[in-house]
């Protein structure tokens, strides 16, 4: 195996996206397109990955970090010009260089590996990855002759009517002999409809020098999708979504309706977990085994344990311990930690709080900035009053306490363990261990009140 390098083209402005966000930073199932491309190149194993980024593309570098080296293409003069920017890093290297467009997020490591192996076995100077497209519009067409095989690639805008009929397209991914690539790049001209330096022209240049140029055909056009606009972006999301769902199903996850289930790229799910329709699992989320994620739940950057049941609820940056349950219609906001076997019922909102084992918060409750121990029962309609208009304060509730319905716990305040709070109480001071706090007006009765009122009429 020779040395292997990859150049990722990511400097194009992406005019057709009509977006403030750099084209290659648009996410496909939660991961920027350029992230998918670089991750697949990394799986293949590269001695060096060089990303060509444009002016103002700090986001690309911030995102990829040390996965790649970077070169700058100050002006976007075309894909050949973009690759040329990497000459300072790669020009003198012996080996194979893979060039991939940052807007082809569906390419897989297996395809890249197949392409490199084919290229090296054939000892070609250039191998272009091609695919058959039912609708080739917008792609470069691969022109072949019977005697010579691949002779050149013609862009959509430069194609004759005859050339435009060709359905074999350039995927924008190529394998080159590194030195031959950088020598040929010197010869690329911009005499075409767009006035750009086209990388595909390297194919024709090498061919004319009688070098061996090959094409490696993709079985599946899905992988070739180049995302130039939002319509293609939606298509890429659809294909990636199906791929991700299939992977989870093959790993033992039941997905009731895969076409209506959205699981982002880095999410992990344990065996025998069931995911119902309309669920969106995002970011760095991990779901345990034998869990149940009910219809229309949204889980973002959260960790959900084994046998957890989530019913139509939203979780953000939260942790749910094993055997806990939530919902329907509840919301865990960032920094919520539920330990094992916690029950959260309907219409409960929890923010920045830890909730101990076996604690139950069944209905219509707000818990914010709090520490709750084990075996607590929080009654319906309880409010943790954490905000005084300027600052947030904390409520601490000890183990085995019982908070009656419709209580207000005004922070900062501590309810010690084994304490009872009478329903309707507004608690402002420490409730000592083993005690009952009643903080409400006593009931008074006015006898015969109805009759008196009637007499006044």
The residues annotated as belonging to the active site are 363
Q: Which of 79, 302, 313, 382 binds ligand UD1 (CB under 6 A)?
A: 79
Interface segment toward Mg ion; rule CB under 5 A; list 115-123, 132-140, 219-227, 245-253: 219-227
Q: Which stretch binds ligand UD1 (CB under 6 A): 7-15, 125-133, 345-353, 415-423?
A: 7-15
Residue 226 interacts with Mg ion (CB under 5 A)?
Answer: yes
Binding mask 181-220 for ligand UD1 (x = CB under 6 A): -----------------xxx--------------------
With CB under 5 to 8 Å by kind, the binding choice for 275 among ligand UD1, Mg ion, none is: none
Question: Which of these, 319, 125, 86, lies nearest to 203 by C-alpha position?
Answer: 125
223-248 residues labelled b (16+ CB within 10 A) or e (exposed)? bbbbbbeeebbeebbebbbeebbeeb
Token digits of residue 307: 């046998």
Nearest distance in Å: CB 142, ligand UD1: 9
Residue 273: both structure tokens together: 């977990």
* Positions 12 through 41 that interact with ligand UD1 (CB under 6 A): 12, 23-24
User: Binding of ligand UD1 at residue 11 (CB under 6 A)?
Assistant: yes
Give 69-130 as a 3 state SS string.
EEEEECCCCCHHHHHHCCHHHHCCCCCEEEEEECCCCCCCHHHHHHHHHHHHHHCCCEEEEE
Q: Which of 103, 177, 214, 323 binds Mg ion (CB under 5 A)?
A: 103
Report whether 296 contacts 279 (CB < 8 A): yes
Q: Which of 52, 131, 205, 403 binds ligand UD1 (CB under 6 A)?
A: 52
Residue 101 or 397: the one with the smaller Cβ distance to ligand UD1 is 101
Nearest to 94 by CA among 6, 5, 186: 5
Q: Which is nearer to Mg ion, 203 or 421 (CB)?
A: 203
Stretch that binds ligand UD1, among 76-84, 106-114, 118-126, 375-383 (CB under 6 A): 76-84
Residue 81 has, within 13 A of its CA and on its CB side, a CA count of: 15
By beta-carbon proximity to ligand UD1, the closer residue of 196 and 266 is 196
- Could you tell me which residues are beta bridge partners of residue 262? 280
Residues numbered 218-247 forming contacts with ligand UD1, rule: CB under 6 A: 226, 228
Residue nearest to Mg ion (CB): 226
Q: Which is nearer to ligand UD1, 201 or 264 (CB)?
A: 201
171 binds, options Mg ion, ligand UD1, none, Cβ within 5 to 8 A by partner type: ligand UD1
| CB nearer to Mg ion: pick between 41 and 421 | 41
Write down how long the chain is.
457
Q: Return all residues near 38 (Cβ < 8 A) that are at least 6 apart.
A: 8, 49, 51, 64, 67, 68
- Spatial separation of the C-alpha atoms in residues 195 and 73, rounded to whole Å: 17
Query: d(Cα 160, Cα 293) in Å, to the nearest integer?
Result: 54
Q: Tell me if residue 316 falls in helix, strand or coil.
A: strand
Residues 302-361 binding Mg ion (CB under 5 A) are none
> At closest approach, how far in Å is the CB of 133 from ligand UD1?
9
Extract the tokens encoding 46. 């590269």
Nearer Cβ to ligand UD1, position 38 or 308?
A: 38
Interaction partner, residue 370 (ligand UD1, Mg ion, none; CB < 5-8 Å by kind): none
Q: Is 228 among the residues that bind Mg ion (CB under 5 A)?
A: yes
Is the bond into 328 cis (omega within 30 degrees of 0)? Answer: yes
The partner in contact with residue 359, picked from Mg ion, ligand UD1, none with C-beta cut-offs of 5 to 8 angstroms by kind, is none
- The radius of gyration of the chain from alpha carbons, rounded to an integer in Å, stands at 31
Whole-angstrom distance, CA of residue 389 vs CA of residue 412: 14
Q: Are 404 and 422 in contact (CB under 8 A)?
A: yes
According to CB under 6 A, which one of 4, 26, 36, 81 is a site residue for ligand UD1? Answer: 81
Binding-residue pattern over the window 137 to 156 for ligand UD1, x denoting contact by CB under 6 A: --xx------------x-x-
Q: Rounded to a whole number, what is the distance in angstroms from the first to the last CA of the chain?
A: 102
Give the CA diameter of the chain.
Answer: 114
CB-nearer residue toward ligand UD1: 142 or 337:
142
The 8-class DSSP code of residue 258 comes to G
If contact means CB under 5 to 8 A according to the sort of partner, which of Mg ion, ligand UD1, none does residue 81 touch? ligand UD1
**Among 35, 172, 327, 398, contact with ligand UD1 (rule: CB under 6 A):** 172
Interface with ligand UD1 by CB under 6 A: which residues?
Answer: 9-12, 23-24, 52, 73, 76-79, 81-82, 101-104, 139-140, 153, 155, 169-172, 198-200, 226, 228
């Amino acid at each position: 195996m020779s040395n292997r390098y990859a150049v990722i083209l990511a400097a194009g402005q992406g005019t057709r996206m009509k977006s403030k966000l750099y084209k290659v930073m648009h996410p496909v199932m939660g991961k920027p397109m350029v992230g998918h491309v670089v991750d697949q190149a990394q799986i293949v194993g590269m001695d060096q990955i060089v990303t060509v980024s444009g002016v103002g593309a700090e986001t690309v570098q911030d995102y990829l970090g040390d996965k790649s080296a970077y070169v700058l293409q100050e002006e976007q003069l075309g894909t050949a010009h973009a690759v040329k920017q990497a000459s300072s890093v790669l020009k003198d290297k012996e080996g194979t260089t893979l060039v991939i467009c940052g807007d082809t997020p569906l390419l897989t490591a297996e395809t890249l590996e197949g392409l490199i192996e084919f290229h090296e076995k054939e000892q070609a100077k250039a191998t272009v990855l091609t695919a058959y497209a039912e609708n080739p519009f917008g792609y470069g067409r691969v022109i072949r002759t019977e005697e010579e095989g691949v002779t050149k690639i013609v862009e959509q805008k430069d194609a004759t009517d005859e050339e435009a009929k060709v359905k074999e397209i350039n995927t924008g991914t190529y394998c080159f002999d590194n030195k031959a690539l950088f020598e040929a790049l010197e010869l690329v001209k911009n005499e075409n409809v767009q006035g750009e330096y086209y990388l595909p022209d390297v194919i024709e240049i090498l061919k004319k020098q009688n070098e061996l140029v090959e094409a490696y055909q993709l079985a599946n056009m899905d992988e070739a999708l180049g995302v130039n606009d939002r319509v293609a972006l939606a298509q890429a999301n659809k294909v990636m979504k199906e791929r991700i769902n299939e992977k989870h199903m093959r790993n033992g996850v039941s997905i009731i309706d895969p076409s209506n289930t959205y699981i982002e790229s880095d999410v992990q799910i344990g065996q025998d977990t069931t995911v119902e329709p309309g669920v969106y699992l995002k970011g760095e989320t991990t779901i345990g085994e034998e869990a149940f994620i009910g219809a229309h739940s949204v889980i973002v950057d959260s960790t959900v344990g084994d046998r957890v049941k989530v019913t139509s609820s939203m979780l953000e940056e939260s942790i749910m311990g094993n055997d806990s349950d939530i919902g329907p219609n509840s919301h865990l906001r960032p920094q919520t930690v539920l330990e094992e076997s916690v029950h959260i019922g309907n219409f409960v909102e929890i923010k920045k709080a830890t909730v101990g084992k076996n604690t139950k918060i069944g209905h219509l409750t707000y818990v914010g900035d709090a520490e709750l121990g084990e075996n607590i029962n929080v009654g319906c309609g309880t409010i943790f009053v954490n905000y005084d208009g300027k600052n947030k304060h904390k409520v601490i509730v000890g183990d085995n306490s019982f908070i009656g319905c419709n209580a207000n716990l005004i922070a900062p305040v501590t309810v010690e363990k084994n304490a009872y709070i009478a329903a309707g109480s507004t608690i402002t001071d420490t409730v000592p261990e083993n005690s009952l706090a009643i903080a409400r007006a006593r009931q008074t009765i006015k006898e015969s009140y109805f009759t008196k009122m009637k007499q006044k009429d």
